[in-house]
């Protein structure tokens, strides 16, 4: 079942969802591996592996394909993937005939940016070893979007051959310090994120690194030669100004293109939630990966 964004936003305001989410990111609840357990029960053929002690699950579409998405979920680098993430993974597989690998990357506070990025890079290399003919792309929402960009920048800087040439990002968290002053003006509109608690979660994830280190906050990195970026953001979220900063940076470099879709009045990470308005944008991302 899908709900209207207007209704969901009203409910989130009443239950003070932004406070609940913020506290959970700062002090995460017990790990329950819901997404992993649900994938175990999926009827989609899959292969399961362990990378740095974390699950890597590849879902296979009905027809042979070389198009392969490494899926990095959001959650402030501290929360596990949800059933909503599973729904998108399965839709990519069934509707767009994409191979999709979900990586349960290390989370804060048990892990910080250096360990998380290292493990995610290892997952990418492992997939490339297993499927040497595949074109491996990156998808990330919220924190997963920030991780996807940091990984792409890191692989480029290492001179990695056959690195991802397509990145789709939904409401990416590109600056864990939330430093853009325009975010202050949007905080009252954002029904999911509270700035102070988000900054605390970002500082925890940074660990011993500075919050403006590109390994933590990729907006401070360089954006040349990253391939094709497809980014979706709502205007009613405090992270919206950072995608505008991304647009400015990409406009000044070569080797990177950006298709930025701005959706008026939409909340943070709306693409992931089961909203009536979100499905067309999920499908735009699937089409982005599926099309040559």
In order along its 292 residues, the chain shows pLDDT tens digits of 899 999 999 999 999 999 999 999 999 999 999 889 999 889 999 999 999 899 999 999 999 999 999 999 999 999 999 999 999 999 999 999 999 999 999 999 999 999 999 999 999 999 999 999 999 999 999 999 999 999 999 999 999 999 999 999 999 999 999 999 999 999 999 999 999 999 999 999 999 999 999 999 999 999 999 999 999 999 999 999 999 999 999 999 999 999 999 999 999 999 999 999 999 999 999 999 999 9
User: Cα–Cα distance between 122 and 48 in angstroms, integer?
Assistant: 15
Residue pair 80/32 in contact (Cβ under 8 Å)? The answer is: yes
For 125, list phi and psi in degrees, rounded to 5.
-65, -35
Q: What's the rounded Cα separation, in Å, for the pair 57 and 66?
A: 17
The pLDDT tens digits of the residues spanning 85-97 come to: 999 999 999 999 9
Cα(112)–Cα(77) distance, integer angstroms: 9
Residue 195 lies in a domain: yes
Looking up tokens 């070893």, which residue turns up? 129
Question: CB of 228 within 8 A of CB of 166?
Answer: yes
The structure tokens listed for 165 are 């040439």
> What tens digit of pLDDT does each residue of 135-186 get?
999 999 999 999 999 999 999 999 999 999 999 999 999 999 999 999 999 9
DSSP notation for 231-286: EEEESSSTTHHHHHHHHHHHHT-SSEEEEEEEETTPPTTTTTS-BTTTHHHHHHHH
Report the length, in residues, of the chain. 292
H or E element: which one contains 170? strand 166-170
Confirm if 197 and 25 have CB atoms less than 8 A apart: yes
Backbone angles phi, psi at 166, to 5 degrees: -135, 130
Query: 242 lies in a domain?
Result: yes
Whether 275 maps to a domain, the answer reads: no
The answer to whether 170 touches 269, Cβ cutoff 8 Å, is yes
* Terminal CA-CA length for the chain: 32
Q: Model pTM greater than 0.85?
A: yes
Residue 277 lies in a domain: no
If one counts the domains in the chain, the total is: 1
Domain assignment of residue 60, yes or no: yes
Phi, psi at 196, each rounded to 5°? -60, -45
| Residue range(s) defining the domain that contains residue 33 | 5-263+282-290
- Closest by CA to 218, choosing from 192, 240, 245, is 245
- 3-state DSSP assignment of residue 55: strand
Are the C-beta atoms of residues 83 and 34 closer than 8 Å to each other?
yes
Show Cβ contacts of residue 77 under 8 Å, excluding neighbours closer than 6 positions: 25, 107, 108, 113, 116, 143, 147, 201, 202, 204, 205
Strand partners, 281: none
CATH number at residue 62: 3.40.50.1820
Q: Is residue 274 part of a domain?
A: no
**Of the candidates 5, 166, 2, which has an alpha carbon nearest to the alpha carbon of residue 96?**
166
Q: Is residue 183 part of a domain?
A: yes
CA distance 282 to 229: 15
Distances (CA, A) of 180 to 19, 74, 175, 186, 195: 21, 21, 9, 11, 11
Secondary structure of residue 91 in the 3-state scheme: helix
Q: Would residue 272 count as lying in a domain? A: no
């Amino acid at each position: 079942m899908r709900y209207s964004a207007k209704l969901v936003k009203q409910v989130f305001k009443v239950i003070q969802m932004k406070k609940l989410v913020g506290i959970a990111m700062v002090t995460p609840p017990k790990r329950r591996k819901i997404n992993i357990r649900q994938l175990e029960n999926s009827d989609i053929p899959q292969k399961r592996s362990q990378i740095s002690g974390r699950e890597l699950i590849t879902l296979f579409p009905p027809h042979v394909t070389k198009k392969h998405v490494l899926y990095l979920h959001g959650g402030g680098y501290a929360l596990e993937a949800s059933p909503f993430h599973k729904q998108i993974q399965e839709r990519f597989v069934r509707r767009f005939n994409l191979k999709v690998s979900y990586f349960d990357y290390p989370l804060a506070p048990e892990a910080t940016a250096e360990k998380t990025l290292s493990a995610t890079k290892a997952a990418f290399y492992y997939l490339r070893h297993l499927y040497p003919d595949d074109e491996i792309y990156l998808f990330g929402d919220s924190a997963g979007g920030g991780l996807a960009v940091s990984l792409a920048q890191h692989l480029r800087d290492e001179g990695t051959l056959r690195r991802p040439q397509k990145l789709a990002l939904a409401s990416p968290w590109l600056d864990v310090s939330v430093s853009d002053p325009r975010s202050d003006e949007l905080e009252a509109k954002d029904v999911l994120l509270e700035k102070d608690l988000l900054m605390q979660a970002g500082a925890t994830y940074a660990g011993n690194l500075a919050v403006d280190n590109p390994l933590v906050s990729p907006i401070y990195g360089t954006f040349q030669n990253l391939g094709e970026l497809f980014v979706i953001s709502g205007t009613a979220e405090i992270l919206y100004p950072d995608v505008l900063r991304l647009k400015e940076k990409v406009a000044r470099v070569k080797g990177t293109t950006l298709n930025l879709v701005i959706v008026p009045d939409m909340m943070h990470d709306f693409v992931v939630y089961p909203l009536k308005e979100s499905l067309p944008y999920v499908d735009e991302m699937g089409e982005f990966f599926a099309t040559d």
